[in-house]
Structure 1
């Protein structure tokens, strides 16, 4: 029998009475388990296997399946406020979907687990900034996983902030290309990024979690940052992250 802390990333029905649950755990990374009888449970799993809930779990290898067997789940935090507000529910769903698609099974990362819990707690705060939390989480997640976008300057000339120069992000090259170098550039070039957006994303890359309130995005910078991260996901994952389409 093994145990650990976990966030619910995905739940699917399986047969008449079971559920397949994908969790991101502190101790084991992403794991997939079968919860036998969960659809009919009156005690063990009732109201526990819900998206983005924080659980303490007990599980074991199954004798009859390649899936591990979820035996017990204690609900530590269901984040009820996230379930009372559509925008925050979608934001929390997006964070979980990002971790679901960006991570591999049994690849443990304590920093990413704690970042996810911190972001869910931040979204649940009455005054928490939704888009700012999403952007900050996404930027930090990319750092942890080794996909940090290069925003230090144009990949070809190295400059940033020259007057009259437009900057775009190349998803193929993972960095900025300026309008002077773009005619000779190769690779997928996305929408323009303002200097303000670039500087804010760079601050987010280096900022500690506890200082998030110092990060202020204008509506235009928010739109640019979200569009960039969405495109970056689609390119590197080679699939769409569905929750992006529901985010206002």
Structure 2
């Protein structure tokens, strides 16, 4: 069977046996794919320093008629983003972006927009464009949009209103939207996160703004905490698993 070529970003690398590696990529043309790199642990030329987390590669691989595990034939390193490996906070953030795509996507379900978003997120971190947590929020909100899980932040799911003196809001992952204290005074628990009006308005702007304009938005420390908590809880609820990289963020 003829080889296929694609651009790909490394999402995960695992050792396999004494000499091989299993590499998961998110690719432009084929979505998430899993490849076996034969002899990669002993390679001194073909794969050396290439199969590293969040590296951008151009790969040649051979499809497998009997398995989703395909053979990686060649890999050309286009960018290793070395700055991310020199700074713990940047490394943890880039690892989170890759883990999110790893868990939120299915194999061979391609989405060019998601591929470009992942590249934008990793490159932005490598260039140190803006605060780390802000870049994570931007990426995560846009990722949910692309995948069809846009949270409803337009108003309370019950009364439809947003704002008002003394009204508190929580985001319900069960309902994928806001609930207010007027409609649900007891809306608490592991599947809801408190949100201020400021944070809600900022997240709505992230949803609606183009990527190249997001740097204009500024989050207060409180808004950052609320937004990160919402996204982390939302992941745990919808994925039904813990995204480990959240635990390594400062």
Shared fold, TM over 0.5: yes
Deviation at 1:67, TM superposition (A): 1.4
User: 1:23-43 deviations in whole A, cap 9, x for unaligned?
Assistant: 000000000010000000011
Deviation at 1:128, TM superposition (A): 3.0
Q: 1:169 aligns with which of 168, 171, 174?
A: 171
- Aligned ranges 1:1-248 → 2 under 5 Å: 1-62=3-64, 66-183=68-185, 189-248=191-250
3-state SS of paired residue (1:136): helix
Please tell me whether the aligned partners of residues 101 and 237 of structure 1 are also in contact (alpha carbons under 8 angstroms): yes
Please tell me whether the aligned partners of residues 8 and 54 of structure 1 are also in contact (alpha carbons under 8 angstroms): yes
Q: Return the alpha-carbon distance in structure 2 between the equivalents of residues 127 and 66 of structure 1.
A: 37
Q: Return the alpha-carbon distance in structure 2 between the equivalents of residues 199 and 164 of structure 1.
A: 17
Deviation at 1:245, TM superposition (A): 0.5
Structure 1 residue runs of 4 or more that deviate by more than 3 Å after TM superposition: 62-66, 183-189
Structure 2: segments with no counterpart, 5+ residues: none
Please tell me whether the aligned partners of residues 170 and 187 of structure 1 are also in contact (alpha carbons under 8 angstroms): no
Deviation at 1:44, TM superposition (A): 0.6
Please tell me whether the aligned partners of residues 172 and 187 of structure 1 are also in contact (alpha carbons under 8 angstroms): no
Shift of the 64–193 alpha-carbon distance from structure 1 to 2, 3 Å rule, reads closer
The TM-score, its normalising length taken from structure 1, stands at 0.96
Please tell me whether the aligned partners of residues 171 and 188 of structure 1 are also in contact (alpha carbons under 8 angstroms): no
Shift of the 46–114 alpha-carbon distance from structure 1 to 2, 3 Å rule, reads same
Deviation at 1:188, TM superposition (A): 6.3
3-state SS of paired residue (2:5): strand
Please tell me whether the aligned partners of residues 4 and 60 of structure 2 are also in contact (alpha carbons under 8 angstroms): yes
The TM-score, its normalising length taken from structure 2, stands at 0.96
Q: Return the alpha-carbon distance in structure 2 between the equivalents of residues 101 and 161 of structure 1.
A: 35
Quote the RMSD (CA, aligned, Å).
Answer: 1.6
Structure 1: segments with no counterpart, 5+ residues: none
Aligned length: 248
Deviation at 1:186, TM superposition (A): 10
Q: Return the alpha-carbon distance in structure 2 between the equivalents of residues 65 and 170 of structure 1.
A: 39
Q: Return the alpha-carbon distance in structure 1 between the equivalents of residues 11 and 98 of structure 2.
A: 5
My pick for the range that moved more, 55-64 or 134-143, is 55-64
